[in-house]
A and B are shown apart, each in its own frame.
Chain A
């Protein structure tokens, strides 16, 4: 199967945290770039058939079979009130392992690269009121003159 195993990278991530760096996988939603903390990622799979589950919020796309386990999949776009996904060759499902919510997949338009950010490259976000989108972010990362919005995965996955 064409999957990107990231467990190896995970170790590197742990090693580097000693020097106050965090590794992020950079994904694209439309024109925006988002960063997903690598330590929560189990693996990344290509788009596959999703079985719809009735009577759930529309951002929950359904379930997939991941090597014999049934994993729920949500659309990051719908969750963030963006336009519905357009499935292309680049569409990927990132399988996350979260302590609170168990294993869950999130659909993204494209997975770009892995970046290592040091703490001074990350700007924490301070909230003024509660703008919808901001609630899902922990900070903004600066890398190669580009900005990466760093996702707060627990907030993304949590029910609204």
Chain B
């Protein structure tokens, strides 16, 4: 079978399952008794095994098979999850991840059997015995338990008014209603496929009215080893049982006539109508996706009643090719450009008819909406990135021999897909940094009267047009003096410079390339490659990092990222006859300043604006161009903000606010730091976008 075309789906889903397993196993460690978690783990492992088997990855399948056996024992209550076992399971997950990445690169799973892990798992399954024995025995046990379990579960199915109507009308037509429960063999790899065959076989003889779990769930393999059907048929029960049991890998099919309270059937033309609707239901079940949301994730009988309160296990996602989105995005860009030309046309004509303006307004609302909805498609919750962190902190905790706990909030905060993909590494750096440098050892914590377990917080939230992600710890904080000494020692600054620097400046030295204050280089961090990478990565995403720290109390790393990257609101300004755009997000206020208000401090121009001293940057100097204004004229100053710093940009003229599409200047002109990109104006001219952050 050519499975290459499914490779992408396989990789996507495998990653999803692995992520899920990671979180669930962590949860299991905390609540070893929680049956929901165990069930969820079991299901994920099982799907993994099935998928690996279908794709022909035998080694991966073997490993997941043994993992599944362990989970199954845990689920049956014959075994308890302890920390040692969780460790092995995590190692297994790592091995699986390795397989996955090998597959991604070479479409082959490699040659690592991970026999050691498999042996370890088997030792768990059956302490002291050999592999074959353990397998056989556990298999047999399950069979024994199973025999008694073959009950007709269709009685649990809740039926609605329509179904009842269908049943009674069928009975009136001399047909019988049967309940069937199909048990699939445990060794079956493609349960969904088997279920589908059963479905087909039954459909030849009967009409399937109700299916539990829903047809959609069965198709997605979201069921255990059995499923139940309610069918209407003219055949006898034996005939139906015969054909279904004829499907291979089916353990057993239990069936019996189904009784329900009769509903009076209206005579005449109504009955056929009902039966047609029944046919439609039947057809739509296996084929279309319009089925109701899954009410049950597995068969009702096997799961305990603790279903409530859990979060939805499966993320309903739409996978859209990023390229398609980009095309859509470009279309929107062009639409906006078209709108801008209309606007400029109306301005130059001078004759503005009201109809024309109406059109523009309409076009404007359309483009804004289109933009918003496209942006939304591109937005994904940061959950996909942060969900791997609890596991990482757990590993770090063991490795560093420090007790720590990670508290996360705001995982549902959404960011542009491209940003989310990139933000994982910087966040990981910061968390590791907090775990290694930030948190003190348990003894020191006790001495300082802190709880022996260190806390690391990861909070994400939206703040205006930005998304803020904070990594906070209650550790030692940054020792400014130590940083200063180190910086002098490394030659990053001179001692004189060090004396003149504010605390904040010194802390910012941490982002300097090749700077690390860890006394020893550890496995985790200390090579000084972390923070400058973090900074440059986040700046490449048009974001910024900031640190706040109090010695002895802990430190907070604040990452600010723009919500959208492609279309922004900007203030158009003119400097010396050239047009520039300043992103509205960084603008604080606009001021009209008389030249006499400009004072000199340390030979730099500043203004005193409502009590705060703000440095002045003359854009004409920065942009190497002559200002078109006479020196005695009042200055137009745009006050921009970067973090907590303000600066005033002197411009010649304001040209109004506009929605602009950001275009990259291309790799070729990437060296100009103060320009973050370009945009195309309504008249087709290119205007450059000033990066206020780089100017300050």
Contacts and interface: CB of A to CB of B under 8 A. Distances in A.
Contacts of B623: 54-55
Interface in A63-116: 63-65, 68-72, 101-104
Interface stretch (B2-10, B208-216, B296-304, B685-693): B685-693
A58 B4 CA distance: 52
A103 B665 CA distance: 10
B664 A70 contact: yes
A52 interface: yes
Nearest to A51: B686
Interface string B656-680: 0000000111111101111100101
Given A49-B685, A102-B668, A68 B334 contact: yes
B181 interface: no
Interface string A116-160: 000000000000000000000000000000000000000001000
Nearest to B678: A70
Given A51-B687, A63-B678, A72 B665 contact: yes
Contacts of A103: 666
Contacts of B337: 68
Contact of A54 (B624, B680, B686): B624
B262 interface: no
B105 interface: no
Nearest to A50: B686
A6 interface: no
B668 A65 contact: no
B305 interface: no
A71 to B, nearest CB: 7
A60 interface: yes
B671 A56 contact: yes
A160 B250 CA distance: 73
Chain A CB within 10 Å, residue with most, of B578, B663, B673, B686: B686
A53 interface: yes
Contact of B672 (A55, A64, A70, A71): A55
Contact of B578 (A52, A70, A104): A52
| Interface SS majority for chain B | mixed
B684 interface: yes
Contacts of A49: 685
Contacts of B686: 51, 62-65, 70
B672 A72 contact: no
A104 B666 CA distance: 9
Nearest to A63: B686
Nearest to B337: A68
A70 B669 CA distance: 11
A54 B680 CA distance: 17
Nearest to A57: B671
Contact of B624 (A55, A68, A69, A71): A55
Contacts of A54: 622-625, 672, 674-675
Interface size class of B (residues with CB under 8 A): 20 to 34
A55 B337 CA distance: 27
Interface in A6-52: 49, 51-52
Contacts of B688: 51, 53, 63
Given A65-B680, A68-B334, A68-B337, A53 B674 contact: no
Contacts of A55: 623-624, 671-674
B333 A68 contact: yes
B665 A70 contact: yes
Contacts of B684: 65
Nearest to B661: A68
Contacts of B672: 53-56
Nearest to B579: A51
Contact of A72 (B624, B625, B666): B666
Interface residues of A, number: 22
A51 B334 contact: no
B39 to A, nearest CB: 52
Contacts of B663: 69-70
B139 to A, nearest CB: 58
Contacts of B578: 51-52
A102 B330 CA distance: 19
Nearest to A104: B668
Contacts of B669: 53, 56, 60, 63, 72
Contacts of B687: 51
Contacts of B673: 55
A18 B202 CA distance: 63
A70 B685 CA distance: 10
Contact of B666 (A52, A62, A71): A71
Contacts of B664: 70
B56 to A, nearest CB: 37
A103 B578 CA distance: 24
Contacts of A62: 686
A137 to B, nearest CB: 21
Interface in B302-332: 330
Interface in B242-267: none
A68 B686 CA distance: 10
A102 B669 CA distance: 11
A102 B663 CA distance: 14
A104 to B, nearest CB: 5
Interface in B610-643: 622-625
A72 B670 CA distance: 11
Contacts of B680: 65, 68, 70
Nearest to B680: A65
B625 A70 contact: no
A60 B667 CA distance: 13
A60 B623 CA distance: 15
Nearest to B664: A70
B277 to A, nearest CB: 52
Chain B CB within 10 Å, residue with most, of A65, A68, A101: A65
A72 B337 CA distance: 20
A51 B675 CA distance: 13
A69 B337 CA distance: 12
Contacts of A70: 663-666, 678, 680, 686
A56 B625 CA distance: 13
A148 B109 CA distance: 55
A62 B687 CA distance: 11
Nearest to B623: A54
A142 B687 CA distance: 43
B674 to A, nearest CB: 7
Nearest to A49: B685
Nearest to A101: B668
Nearest to B625: A54
A127 B337 CA distance: 49
A71 B680 CA distance: 11
Contact of A101 (B334, B624, B625, B667): B667
Contacts of A71: 666
Chain A CB within 10 Å, residue with most, of B337, B623, B665: B665
What are the 7 A-B residue pairs with the smallest beta carbon separation, nearest first? A51-B686, A54-B623, A70-B663, A70-B678, A72-B668, A72-B669, A65-B686
Interface of A: 49, 51-56, 60, 62-65, 68-72, 101-104, 157
Given A60-B668, A63-B678, A72-B665, 13 more contacts: A51-B687, A53-B675, A54-B622, A54-B623, A55-B674, A56-B669, A65-B680, A68-B334, A70-B664, A70-B665, A101-B667, A101-B668, A102-B668
18 contacts: A51-B686, A52-B578, A52-B625, A54-B624, A54-B625, A54-B675, A55-B624, A55-B674, A60-B668, A63-B678, A64-B686, A65-B680, A65-B686, A68-B330, A68-B333, A68-B680, A70-B686, A72-B668
